[in-house]
Amino acid sequence: MSTRSRALERSGPRRGSLPGCWPALALIVASVGCSSAPAEHARLRERVIAFEAGALERFLAVARTLEDTPLANHARALAAETRDCTELFAHLPDDGRPARPLLHCVDGSADVAAADPVAQPGDDAAADFARDRRSDALAAFARERRGDADGLILWPIGDDGRLELRLRVDAEGGLHAEGSLRPPGDPGGLGLILPDAEPPAPSVISPVASLAHLRARPAGGLRLSALIPTGGQADRLFALKGRLITSALLSGSWELAFMPAAEAGRLPLAVAALHHRAEEPVRLALGEALDQLETTWPIRRSPRRFGSQAFDGGCFLDLPLLPEFAPCWAITPKAVLVGYRAEAIEGALATPAVSSPPDLAAPLETQTATNGTSLEVRLDGFAGVDRSRRAGGPDPHVGEIFSRLSLRLEPTDDERVRVRASLRSDS
């Protein structure tokens, strides 16, 4: 057996030893570092997708009904290529390019060993065989890890984080995922949605009209200033490192939503809410930021009141940087709202109608979600926006077969994040 083969056979998890530790004290000294936790298997950081073929076909059958779309075309091609499969597998190396077609058939009954053959220098055939044997070993590992789920996704995140999801396809072809995320040491922008142990504040954005709504309270606080490079254009021109976004003024919760297009408009309108600790200091800090904007750019704010409670705010109506762009803001006792246009803020502050569904009819201050980050996307609503702005014949939209996308990120006791997601039709 080659040195490389023996090394691969020994690649499983290892437990740390206890040199110098008395057995009677093992449980105590382990907590202070005299023993080490089992190392995770290196294969858990591979880019792997595995699926039971019958379950995937239920999803593809629904996708194929969306005629003349890339989704339907890909679904049809994949179904044709894997018609006689029992199991599908994909492995993407670090460069993101799969060594085989993205999803290919594997023998679901095989118990593949972990050893690779030795590839001699310049022996392309041996190298290809070694690569295929490694892929087969990964497929066997993924099959064991998948268990009785329909599918599995393993994906590295950053330098030391990883995502593991088990997938299920329901009878109607809806896709559901549950698993865990080990956050990387340097999460970057991902840190904005990694959930804190404390739940986010109740929403200030109404769910009545929103096409998509994200609500989060990031672990460690909302550190917006850390995302703005010092000396960059945003820092220089917009005073974004001013007092408005310091942790002293913001409470940590934030929201992002998309509202339907304005009348005669074509774009869904974004609106964000930053929850604050005290209204008056935030009002002063926002005034400072707006003063600097007007000093830097030849623009002037137009005061305006928003919502049924006439919250103070304003708009920049002469800022033609993007299509339909006329940014506005409003200050409520709980948050600062910033929107793409005035209609975005008006929609965000809309009062739920008595006839709204029970989960939408309650006052905003009583509408709370489960602990953690939540995202709801009304795909059927986006389909309606697309239909209303198309001049030609109706084009298919994914919202016509899947009405809703949901995502939940919840903190756990072991510093991981529980992940739950679903793509489904509510009809």
Question: How much is the average pLDDT of 43-62?
Answer: 92
Which amino acid is present at 124? D
Percentage above 70 pLDDT, the chain: 70
Give the model's pLDDT for residue 312: 96
pLDDT given for residue 180 in this prediction: 97
E runs forming strands in 302-347? 302-306, 311-315, 328-331, 335-339
Which one-letter DSSP state was computed for residue 261?
P
| Phi, psi (deg, nearest 5) at residue 286 | -65, -40
pLDDT band of residue 4 (cuts 50, 70, 90) is very low
pLDDT at position 152 over 90: yes
Q: What is the mean pLDDT of residues 290-294?
A: 86
Whole-number pLDDT of residue 94:
73
Mean pLDDT of 175-196: 94
Residue 327 has pLDDT above 80, yes or no: yes
Across 35-39, 293-297, 312-316, 319-323, which has the greatest mean pLDDT? 312-316
Q: Which stretch of 14-28, 273-287, 302-316 has the lowest confidence by average pLDDT?
A: 14-28
Is the pLDDT at 205 greater than 80? The verdict is: yes
Distance between CA 219 and CA 187 in Å, rounded? Answer: 11
> For position 42, what pLDDT does the model report?
85
For residues 219-231, average pLDDT: 72
* DSSP secondary structure of 191-228: GGTSBPSSPPPPP-S-SSS-SEEEEE-BTT---GGGGS
Model pLDDT, residue 103: 81
